[in-house]
Structure 1
């Protein structure tokens, strides 16, 4: 991770460890500079990151304050942190259904801006939340950016792995949502009747430099998935 991202994580964990309630005032910028021994630019970028992630809000002339935490078990549709980070300890097991190296079809080529002969990892997983089926996820990762994946990695957080091993950080993502009637096979995975209405989300994840590396399609369980939107005006 970049230095400002590391500092943002440290500030966030400090808020969590102290269990600071909504409206708690944090140290000012000068105090944070001294505490973490980094530049003003790094602190400002770290605070901006936390504000975008709805952790804090800043009031000019007054200070930096803790924002209302989202309810447990709710997935934030605005952020691009991945299931593991966003859902925390409630993000239960992952069942890897498929992990293959394939050549991308037209849809994947378009979304990953790649060619027909660019290999991609295809990962199909069932995700669980608090012991219940949460979502069916199909993801495509560019192999030229992520040279190695295996089932053990896919059973945990792929994003944490690629951050640690390949220093690939999520810069931003594009999300497209619609309601669909699930087919029979999807119904078998989600243990729902065919024709059930479910939320379908397509998401393209980009690196900090704007290069797409992951195209995912997720169908959420109608009873077990909950969502929130925490945004800010900037």
Structure 2
């Protein structure tokens, strides 16, 4: 394990055990770097992971504070404002995938519009169930241009974003997400093992890479037992 991840895990454990209490000022970066015998650059990577999870926040000129948690014991909380996938957001748990469908075809009009592609540019269509610690977590329907990267089922069973970033150097830097509720269709109900017509939360997403190009159009569906999301709002300007 990388050193910055070890430090991240250690600090997170201290936060969850109330060694660093909500609302209190944490030790300075110099103090933490000295404690763990690491550079400030390495420490910053650890703190960035904690910021991503909404566990801490920084105030310019003041320091780093432990953020109050809505439900510190809930494994369901997913940060909705971050360009990440389930493997990252639930990195402390085992995330696996069950592939329901994988193939290539030509895009429909909505997919062409959202991905800024032409009618003759083929796309991958991916349907998979995401499992968290071997329990059903979400049902994903993903459309991705085939020119982005070669995909196969071994990749789809793991983390697509991890493969794109590590192998293809394509990183998700931005995303537009629309969140809404819908009733489970027959297909969604079977995938999520819920009753047809059950209430689902849907996150519809267009993902963009570091060049600002759309590379994914997806809909992720969650049943009501896995529909707890959090978004942190930061205000840097006042008027």
What value does the CA root-mean-square deviation take over the aligned residues? 3.1
Q: Which one of the candidate residues 186, 189, 192 is aligned to 2:188?
A: 186
The residue that corresponds to 2:7 in the other structure is 14
Q: Counterpart of 1:6?
A: none
Pick from 95, 113, 117: which aligns with 1:114? 117
Tell me: higher relative CO, structure 1 or 2? Use CA pairs within 8 A at least 6 residues apart.
Answer: 1
In the alignment, the residues of structure 2 paired with residue 153 and residue 104 of structure 1 have an alpha-carbon distance, to the nearest angstrom, of: 22
TM-score, normalised relative to structure 1: 0.80
By how many angstroms is 1:176 displaced? 0.8
TM-score by length of 2: 0.78
Residue of structure 1 aligned with 2:151, choices 140, 149, 152 = 149
Whole-angstrom CA distance in 2 between matches of 1:52 and 1:96: 28
Structure 1 unaligned regions, length at least 5: 1-8
Alignment of 1:188-203 (within 5 A): 188-203=190-205
Indicate which of 103, 114, 133 corresponds to 1:130.
Answer: 133
Matches of 1:99 and 1:142, distance apart in 2: 13
**Deviation of 1:55 (Å):** 4.3
Partner of 1:5: none
Deviation at 1:106, TM superposition (A): 0.9
Q: What whole-Å deviation, never above 9, does each CA across 1:15-60 have from its counterpart, x for those lacking one?
A: 323423154625437986x95476xxxx6x9977864653431123
Q: Secondary structure at the match of 1:20?
A: helix
1:169 to 167, 171, 174: 171
CA spacing shift, 1:192–1:49, aligned 2, 3 Å: closer
In structure 2, list runs of 5 or more residues that go unmatched: 16-20
Distance in 2 (CA, whole Å) between partners of 1:140 and 1:26 is 45
Which residue is 1:159 aligned to? 161
Helix, strand or coil for the counterpart of 1:170?
coil
Q: Distance in 1 between matches of 2:31 and 2:193?
A: 54
- 180-189 or 211-220: bigger deviation: 180-189
Are 1:98 and 1:123, in contact at CA under 8 Å, matched by a contact in 2? yes
Judged with a 3 Å threshold, the aligned counterparts in structure 2 of structure 1 residues 55 and 49 are, in CA distance, closer, same or farther, namely same
For the residues of structure 2 that align with 1:26 and 1:99, how far apart are their CA atoms?
A: 49
Cα 1:163–1:211 change in 2 (3 A) is same
Match of 1:73 among 73, 76, 89: 76
* SS in structure 2 of the partner of residue 73 of structure 1: coil
Distance 2:227 2:133 in 1: 12
Q: Does the 8 A contact of 1:109 with 1:116 survive in 2?
A: yes
